[in-house]
């Protein structure tokens, strides 16, 4: 499926091979493996839980996006990969917590049993805490990056996670869905649940690259629209897709207010396309190399069949 709107055509760019994006994803996978292969002093069960959650099958959208926006010169390639790993650890920790019985009570994630089912709730929670904290250690240890930049990167990630970011989104998702009666309120939740970490990853790439503020602002706008479109597509998959397609439990939203449940799949699909169109314009405004990012987005949304 190719997503289309009046101002965007998500066809693969002839100038870039998918292998370019795939090679970044492969490099991220290798770096993640390196970060958790040897964990001296860490109890075996906790090590197992960390690897189980972190190394499960994933498209690694956030770290790949960070790397593509950073477009790093040779001396910063390792830093860009490590930053991507830090973001992926935060994302994985949020999934572990989201899947707990007191949250979404999910049984499958990344095509394997959820961490609390495989290792128990206590170890699952501890593994999430371990990855959240290690993410900031990784940033602090980026010796090739100036201290001022490392502080900025840490702040961006902390703000995305915190009480007015991912944490706020999860609280609303668990206890405040009944108050969501308009598309704007639902999109604000989608922003908190998904968009904030997309923006953090993209902006971290822009900061590492040293983009000026107008271009960083365009990167933020791009990532916000991309993230909200992604969450809208995820809601469509939850309603219409299969667990095999999603790699996780579906139909977990139940009676929760989403764009799909309140306004129907057609309207949600249209909203998704509108955000992708806005993302495309912001991507152009940012002046970054758009071709591999378009390639990644085209393949991502083309495989999310429930958007159709």
- pLDDT tens for 120-179 read 999 999 999 999 999 999 999 999 999 999 999 999 999 999 999 999 988 988 887 777
Q: Express as a percent the part of the chain with pLDDT over 70.
A: 85
| pLDDT score, position 255 | 62
Predicted confidence band of residue 72 (pLDDT cuts 50, 70, 90): confident
d(CA 76, CA 127): 29
Residue 204: name the closest of 73, 24, 72 by CA: 72
Alpha helices in the chain (DSSP H): 18-37, 44-54, 61-70, 77-99, 115-119, 121-140, 147-161, 166-175, 183-190, 196-209, 213-240, 243-246, 259-263, 265-286, 290-302
List the domain boundaries for the chain: 4-307
Average pLDDT, the chain: 85
More confident residue, 23 or 259: 23
Question: Using an 8 Å Cβ cutoff, are 12 and 3 in contact?
Answer: no
- The class level of CATH for 4-307 reads mainly alpha
Alpha carbon of 276 to those of 16, 65, 91, 210: distances in Å? 20, 15, 22, 25
**pTM, 2 dp:** 0.86
Average of pLDDT values for 245-249? 54
Tokens 């987005």 belong to 297
Q: Can you read off the two tokens belonging to residue 119? A: 């290792």
Average of pLDDT values for 288-297? 92
């Amino acid at each position: 499926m190719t997503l289309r709107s009046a101002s965007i055509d998500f066809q693969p760019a002839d100038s870039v091979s998918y292998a370019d994006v795939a090679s970044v994803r492969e490099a991220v996978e290798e770096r993640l493996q390196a970060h958790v292969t040897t964990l001296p002093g860490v109890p075996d069960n906790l090590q197992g839980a960390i690897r189980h959650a972190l190394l499960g099958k994933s498209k690694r959208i956030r770290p790949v996006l960070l790397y593509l926006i950073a477009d790093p010169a040779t001396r910063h390639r390792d830093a860009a990969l490590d930053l991507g790993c830090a973001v992926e650890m935060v994302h994985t920790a949020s999934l572990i917590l989201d899947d707990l019985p007191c949250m979404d009570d999910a049984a499958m994630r990344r095509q394997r049993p959820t961490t609390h089912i495989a290792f128990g709730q206590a170890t699952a929670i501890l593994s999430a805490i371990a990855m959240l904290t290690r993410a900031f250690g990784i940033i602090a240890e980026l010796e090739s990056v100036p201290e001022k930049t490392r502080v900025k990167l840490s702040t961006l990630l902390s703000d995305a996670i915190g009480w007015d970011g991912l944490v706020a989104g999860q609280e609303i998702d668990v206890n405040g869905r009944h108050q969501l009666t308009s598309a704007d309120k639902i999109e604000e939740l989608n922003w908190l649940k998904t968009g904030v970490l997309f923006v953090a990853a993209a902006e971290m790439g822009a900061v590492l690259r040293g983009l000026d503020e107008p271009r960083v602002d365009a990167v933020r706008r791009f990532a916000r629209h991309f993230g909200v479109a992604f969450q809208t597509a995820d809601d469509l998959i939850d309603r219409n897709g299969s667990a095999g397609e999603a790699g996780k439990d579906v139909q977990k939203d139940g009676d929760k207010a989403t764009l799909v449940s309140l306004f129907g799949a057609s309207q949600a699909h249209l909203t998704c396309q509108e955000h992708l169109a806005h993302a495309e314009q912001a991507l152009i405004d940012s002046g970054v190399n758009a071709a591999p990012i378009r390639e990644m987005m085209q393949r991502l949304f083309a495989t999310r069949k429930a958007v159709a």
